Structure 1
Amino acid sequence: MATPPTAATFAALLRAEGLTVIEVGHWQTHNRNHVGPWGPVHGVMIHHTVTRGTASTVRICRDGYASLPGPLCHGVIAKDGTVHLVGYGRTNHAGGGDPDTLAAVIAESYGMRPSAPNVGNVDGIDGNRHFYGFECENLGDGKDPWPATQLEAIERASAALCRYHRWGAKSVIGHSEWSDDKSDPRGFTMPSMRDRIADRLAEPVPKPPAKPVTPPTGRPVVDLSKLIAAARSDPARRGTPISYYGVKTVEQALVREGLLAPSLADGHFGTATIAAYAAWQRRCGYKGTAADGIPGAESLRKLAARRGFTVTA
């Protein structure tokens, strides 16, 4: 059974796949859950909108019509490849479809496409419950072009959800493959899109670069790992800049705690400083070898909280 992720995770999955995502209003709670269940989910369904213009398309897909209330999908994929999130939960995008098609999607057992003919909306199984839906901005007349950026966004959005659920590319279908009374998406083929998705799934998700830790401005910074190195091997004696390790910052804090003489706060993590830091550790409740004068993360952060400096790992 495939349980949908949280709305926040859903958005994060799309961004991790390299997509530009715009969150529209309170999309996280905008849904049709009051009229029926959503989930378990078994696949991704791709549509065209039969609309022109991104702003109006997003508005329509969010609000729907009098005869078909919104949201009409989870995300709108614009021609520039941007994904606009308009709803999360049950949405009015799939309608009824063939039970045999749903079984084939779950098993990923079909060939180029699910078998046809397929039962339509009147007698079909509830697709709104079981599929994520992406509406893609296009007139659907076979003439309106599909920009490369938009096709790539469809590929990436589908792959993001397949990765999360450990699905293959055959868990992604077009609306026309779900029900014979539908024609979307028109202008590209779903077998070719599934080939693209399969190729993307064979590649690892690029990891975003780690964000550097930015200490609060105006506060001295002590690097814990470098401080430990200073305490154990006294690199200050070999000309290493003491400001890099924050030795003097810690010594000045020990002075203010009454554990070190001011004249010994010289940036040299020697015998006197080790003894003073061991006294601080004992004050924090450490005993025996745990109070050896070599700084640890917890004791250093307690000292930092009292004496106004920042600790980085």
Structure 2
Amino acid sequence: MATPLSATAVLTALRAEGVRVVEVGNWRTHNRNSKGAWGPVNGSIVHHTVTRGTASTVAMCRTGYASLPGPLCHGVIAKDGRVHVVGWGRTNHAGGGDARVLDQVVAESYGSRPTPPTKGNANGADGNARFYGWECENLGDGKDPWPAAQYDAIVRVQAAICRAHGWSAKSVIGHLEWSSDKVDPRGFTMQQLRADVGDRLKHPANWSPGQSAPTAPAKPTPARPVVDLSLLTAAARRDPVRSGTPVSYTGARVVEAALAAEGLLAKKYVDGHFGSATVTAYAAWQRRLGYTGRDADGIPGITTLKRLGKVHGFDVVA
């Protein structure tokens, strides 16, 4: 059992669920509370109006008629998907219904649908005190279509109520499941509606069908190494073995690692010094690319170095 949502709370819940709400007149205080209890609430009932035309339907549901004063529901779900809230508190929407159904809704204990009701408006339990009510604009003849925008709004409204109370979709029933003398809603099944509400409740309130699940942010691509050709050639021309003065250069280590990956240089020479072993290996790389003579002397040039970088993931600046 739950305390009914306040007018402000339900408005917040509906809008968070993506419902387009139209506030009608003094809906926050328009109710039948003087005629009976309002709450504790246990679920939400879906109806059809047996009317055509949004303006006249909203007016009727707000004011009622001679034998049944309004409001006749809490909100009217129009063909275009907008929800016109017309009252808040006790409303004349559910009438009498089967107490066994109420028990099953309270416990959310039934299978695909509650036990078929055997009580109706004249001899049933007071549903106006225990349920939220939503009238959906439709002739109820099984032929009047349910536009996608309207059906989506019905799902969103019911999900908003369930989410606000922590209920499952089994707290949503049709009028025909509550009262033995009712047939609404007609044109879709409550089993399908509950399935769609349940699916929606698996997602955040602002979810829309067709949205993909959030994905983890892509990992940043590591920066590619950059080899400075002028520093590299200086290291290549200064053989540390002959000069006795090793000159280590990070870019040289990158190139040596690439030559080792090509099978042209032993891994023990990947030391950043670009000595005679590396010069010999680089000459072999130049010959592999078709260079001969002085063009294959082991001293890196811009063309051969870029070719090596393209294969092994480094860039070159001259």
Q: Match of 2:66, as an amino acid?
A: A
Task: State the match for 2:8 in structure 1.
Answer: 8
Describe how 1:176-187 pairs up with structure 2 within 5 A.
176-187=176-187
Q: Secondary structure at the match of 2:173?
A: strand
Task: State the match for 2:42 in structure 1.
Answer: 42
Task: State the match for 2:138 in structure 1.
Answer: 138
Cα distance between partner residues in 1 of 2:75 and 2:143: 23
Q: CA deviation at 1:144?
A: 0.3
Describe how 1:94-173 pairs up with structure 2 within 5 A.
94-173=94-173
Q: Which of structures 1 and 2 has the bigger CA Rg?
A: 2
Percent identical among aligned pairs is 67
For structure 2, list consecutive stretches of 5 or more residues without a partner in the other structure.
208-318
Tell whether the 8 Å contact from 1:118 to 1:178 is kept in structure 2 after alignment.
no
Q: Match of 1:174, as an amino acid?
A: G
* Per-residue CA distance 1:85-144 (angstroms, 9 max, x = gap): 000000000000000000000111111111124311111000000000000000000000
Cα distance between partner residues in 1 of 2:116 and 2:25: 39
Q: TM-score, normalised by structure 2?
A: 0.64
Cα distance between partner residues in 2 of 1:162 and 1:15: 14
Q: Secondary structure at the match of 1:129?
A: coil
Describe how 1:1-313 pairs up with structure 2 within 5 A.
1-206=1-206
Q: CA deviation at 1:9?
A: 1.2
How many residue pairs are counted as aligned between the two chains? 207
Tell whether the 8 Å contact from 1:118 to 1:177 is kept in structure 2 after alignment.
no
* Per-residue CA distance 1:9-37 (angstroms, 9 max, x = gap): 11111011001000000000000000001
Tell whether the 8 Å contact from 1:101 to 1:118 is kept in structure 2 after alignment.
no
Tell whether the 8 Å contact from 1:138 to 1:144 is kept in structure 2 after alignment.
yes
Q: CA deviation at 1:206?
A: 2.7
Cα distance between partner residues in 1 of 2:61 and 2:117: 28
Cα distance between partner residues in 1 of 2:120 and 2:5: 29
Q: Secondary structure at the match of 2:109?
A: coil
For structure 1, list consecutive stretches of 5 or more residues without a partner in the other structure.
208-313
